[in-house]
Amino acid sequence: MSDFSKHDAIQSPRLIKSLRYPVPAGSEITPEAVYLNRRALLGMMGAGLASVALPEESKAASKIEPLAAQKNAKFLPPSDPPTDIKLATSYNNYYEFGTSKSAPAREAESLTVRPWTVEVTGEVMKPRRIDLEELMRLQLEERIYRFRCVEAWSMVVPWIGFEFRQLAALVEPTSKAKYVRFTTVARPEEMSGLRAKLPSLDWPYTDGLRMDEAMHPLTLMVVGMYGQTLPNQNGAPLRLMVPWKYGFKNVKSIVKIEFLEKQPEGSWTKAASNEYGFYSNVNPQVDHPRWSQKRERLLPALFASRETELFNGYGEQVASLYAGMNLRFNY
């Protein structure tokens, strides 16, 4: 059950059924209507009709295809149901498409996400340009992660992806590889934010991880969410997801991955190093100058009543990475 192409998935009703993530009984949240309707429809229509445009989908979503992956039972939401897909795909920080949170859902449609290749270089034995299709054949799985933004809001999202380790194995990092830098695509002709007179950040967008962070089994390369390929505004076709760090670390629409000897400086750190550090682990004890990080608003709640957990609740898995480090200094 490791390797599903999109067509296998569509043809197998059994599998489609198993993809539903658990929604707590009696949950009064707005159901993932778009997601589940589409699933039901696809199930009924069977293979071959997957490309029929469904009326409730926006134009931007027309490129989105169903994507099957085995659900990883270890990563079910502890208590919270996944955020409504409509919210997760309409409230995005993606400055390449404008600085407001609603802009990416409108503007990102213009990004061409197929064909797509990722250049993987640096301190590796086998530097390569890897086609997205090849990555899609790696072992994909669905994991439900908490997502915590530095702006003190959070969501719960069912991502589909593969562990970064799988990608690293394809290029064989050398012993000199101490860090990994991820770079977002930068195409002014397709990305309105890059054409802005006052650039909001230094393009292209980059950020990085320490090697052991990148190789951690929680570190995911994401190609889909909510049972579909990624919408452009969420970083299609390939993005990073490191659930114990603040959201901005999760570089979107990745075209380059470099294994480096020296610690790289991310775009936000470059813009304001006192606000956004290299580690940027979720930590309620370390405030951002603009936002208290003690609590968070689990969207779409009105009240920021939820207490933020160290490492976003993934401390059991990742705290050992930072043993002996002063997290206040290494923010």
Give the separation between CA 264 and CA 122, rounded to whole angstroms: 13
Question: Rounded to the nearest whole angstrom, what is the least distance from the CB of residue 142 to another protein in the complex?
Answer: 21
User: Helices in 78-210 by DSSP H: which ranges?
Assistant: 85-88, 103-107, 132-136, 164-171
- For another protein, give the closer residue by CB, 47 or 301: 301
- For another protein, give the closer residue by CB, 53 or 302: 302
Give the separation between CA 162 and CA 165, rounded to whole angstroms: 8
- For another protein, give the closer residue by CB, 12 or 90: 90
To the nearest 10°, the Cα dihedral for 281, 296, 107, 60? 100
- For another protein, give the closer residue by CB, 112 or 292: 292
Give the separation between CA 24 and CA 136, rounded to whole angstroms: 30
Q: What contacts 257, CB < 8 A, 6 or more positions away?
A: 118, 119, 120, 121, 167, 180, 181, 182, 183
Question: Rounded to the nearest whole angstrom, what is the least distance from the CB of residue 266 to another protein in the complex?
Answer: 14
- For another protein, give the closer residue by CB, 152 or 230: 152
Give the separation between CA 274 and CA 331, rounded to whole angstroms: 9
Sheet holding 206-210, edge to edge: 128-131, 117-122, 254-260, 179-184, 206-210
Give the separation between CA 306 and CA 297, rounded to whole angstroms: 6
Using CB under 8 A, list all residues that contact another protein: 30, 83-84, 86-88, 90-91, 95, 99, 101-102, 152-153, 155, 198, 200-201, 271, 287, 289-290, 292, 294-295, 297, 299-305
Question: Rounded to the nearest whole angstrom, what is the least distance from the CB of residue 190 to another protein in the complex?
Answer: 20
Give the separation between CA 164 and CA 166, rounded to whole angstroms: 5
- For another protein, give the closer residue by CB, 83 or 283: 83
- For another protein, give the closer residue by CB, 165 or 290: 290
What tokens were used for 16? 């489609």
Question: Rounded to the nearest whole angstrom, what is the least distance from the CB of residue 285 to another protein in the complex?
Answer: 13
Question: Rounded to the nearest whole angstrom, what is the least distance from the CB of residue 16 to another protein in the complex?
Answer: 26
Query: Does the N-terminal peptide bond of residue 22 adopt cis geometry, omega within 30 degrees of 0?
Result: no
